[in-house]
Amino acid sequence: MPTTYIQPEFRVRIDYDKCHKCGRCVQQCGWGVYSFNERPIPDDAKCKACHRCVTFCPAHCISIEKSPLAYRDNDNWSPSLRKAVWRQAETGGVLLTGMGNDKPYLRIFDHLVLDACQVTNPSIDPLREPMELRTFLGRKPDSVAVEADADGGWRLADGGGMENNVELEAPIVFAPMSYGSVSLNVHKSMAMAASRLGILMNTGEGGLHADLYPYADNIIVQCASGRFGVTPEYLNRGAAIEIKVGQGAKPGIGGHLPGEKIDNEVSRTRMIPQGTDALSPAPHHDIYSIEDLRQLIYALKEASGYKPVGVKIAAVHNVAAIASGIVRAGADYIYLDGFRGGTGAAPTIIRDHIGIPVEIAIAVVDQRLREEGIRNQASIVAAGSIRSSADMAKAIALGADVVAIGTATLMALGCHLCQQCHTGCCSWGITTQKPELTRRVDPEWGAERLVNLVHAWSHELQEILGALGVNAVESLRGSRERLRSIGLDEQTCRVLGVKPAGL
């Protein structure tokens, strides 16, 4: 019997006429595709199409092709479903994957378009006029009091109720990705970039490594169900604290960092023994209700001198009511993670079939909080596949204050979306703890690329705002009148609060 029925997905082609026989492909591949016998010899079955070898081949002689192997047409049984059944019959295991949901569900962002000014209302040129992207993350006051200043004018009294807000220079934060799931160099890149950009990174649930302490003013520290590395010191270092309840890629599922990824440094940062699995229970066992959530929010505030506390949830069916409860529980921001959000490891079946799109979640949460008169009490952070500055602008127009980017962040550092994060063999040195691989991301280089990415998106957002004829991102927030839909059904338009194009 063959050991597997599953045939290679890709074909590695080497043009040996051009090949230098330098062996760099052998050295670069984290999957062990290549052996070397006078020339590199690929094993197609191991290739993940991550393009590391292609990128580093000095002779440009490697190409990766999709396997032309034909499967008999069957719309019901796609080749991927067939392969899943074979794999499970071989192993009896739950199938794991990395990155976000890649199934062909409707992408609502791609069916929304933005407005622009023509004739009746002038557009603004952001190159010549001020264009404000500054955003404040946290609870805003219910009302504003003013007092006379020394110059005979007026100013906000008592700081205007904004003391517990975190100031961001752009409405972008790096999404939570734990040290352990990604490498320390990735964390350093994000921390340095966040500090230079005046935005925030997020530790994820794996604790805060000592090397990141200098950047702590630009770091959100996370408290998840495993409570890894959560000490009074940790809570007091961060700019804000986030309770992680759920993740878009795996709503209702706990985390499970395999023992292979728990090396000495990860062990020290998470404060757990080396080599044991780091299991995050599916729920927080001290949160079984909104009242319990309130108790944890205020415990974190008591322990940290009343820092802002946010709550991250996966976007699920009843998200608006849940969000209302979270705001009433005292959260300073809600983080909504849509069903296309990425992950370092999730059961494929969960990733691909649970949760709702973030576009819907933003719209219904913003609407619900407005109807209840509590929208000012918490900021909304939206994530779950923000792929460009256009997605960012549309998310803000639907009602988000800030977007979080995870997959795009890793792509800036080299990620090619091969979806193998859970294996710990990342050839790009991102989702691995192997020292020979992690050194491929130099933090200084990484920080520069992340700064470039956020600057580019910020400039594009300014252009979009200018076209809309507004001079601050605040003026776009929740302004669904500036969105129109193309090709969305009436019901979805109503849920989004967006008119079809032409109306």
Partner 1 sequence: MSITSTGPMEGYRKAAPDVAVDGKTAVIDAKGVYYRQLNQAVRAAFADGATTVRLNDVNGQRYIGTGLTGAGRRIEVHGTPGNDLGMFMDGPTVEVFGNAQDGVGNTMSGGRVVVHGDAGDVLGYGMRGGVVHIAGDVGYRVGIHMKAYEGLRPIVVCGGKARDFFGEYMAGGLLVLLGTRTQFPDQPIVGSFVGTGMHGGVIYLRGGVEPWQCGKEVGIFTADEDDLSRLRPILEDHCGAFGLDLADMMSVPFTKLVPTSHRPYGKLYAG
Residues that bind partner 1 (CB under 8 A): 87-88, 90-97, 142, 225-227, 230-233, 235, 256, 258-259, 267, 271-273, 275-277, 279, 281, 285-286, 294-295, 298-299, 302-304, 327-330, 347-348, 373-374, 377
Q: Of 290, 474, 310, 321, which Cα lies nearest the Cα of 378? A: 310
What is the smallest separation between the CB atom of 256 and partner 1, expressed in angstroms? Answer: 6
What is the smallest separation between the CB atom of 304 and partner 1, expressed in angstroms? Answer: 7
Strand segments (E) across 127-248: 135-137, 146-148, 154-156, 166-168, 172-174, 201-202, 219-223, 240-244
What is the smallest separation between the CB atom of 231 and partner 1, expressed in angstroms? Answer: 5
What is the smallest separation between the CB atom of 230 and partner 1, expressed in angstroms? Answer: 6
Comparison of 171 and 347: residue with beta carbon closer to partner 1: 347
Contact 108, 488 (CB under 8 A): yes
Number of C-beta neighbours around residue 163 at 10 A? 12
| CA dist., res. 77 & res. 81, Å (int) | 6
Comparison of 419 and 458: residue with beta carbon closer to partner 1: 419
Comparison of 267 and 388: residue with beta carbon closer to partner 1: 267
Contact 414, 430 (CB under 8 A): yes
For 447, the token pair is 């920080």
Chain center to CA of 266: 21
What is the smallest separation between the CB atom of 93 and partner 1, expressed in angstroms? Answer: 3
Comparison of 260 and 460: residue with beta carbon closer to partner 1: 260
Comparison of 199 and 223: residue with beta carbon closer to partner 1: 223
Comparison of 27 and 274: residue with beta carbon closer to partner 1: 274
Comparison of 78 and 231: residue with beta carbon closer to partner 1: 231
Cα dihedral 462/465/471/476 (nearest 10)? -120
What is the smallest separation between the CB atom of 254 and partner 1, expressed in angstroms? Answer: 9
What is the smallest separation between the CB atom of 438 and partner 1, expressed in angstroms? Answer: 22
Q: At what angle do helices 184-197 and 443-468 cross, to 10 degrees?
A: 40
Exposure b/e, 270-284, CB count within 10 A at least 16 = b: bebeeeeebebeeeb
HSE-CB of 229 using CA atoms within 13 angstroms: 24
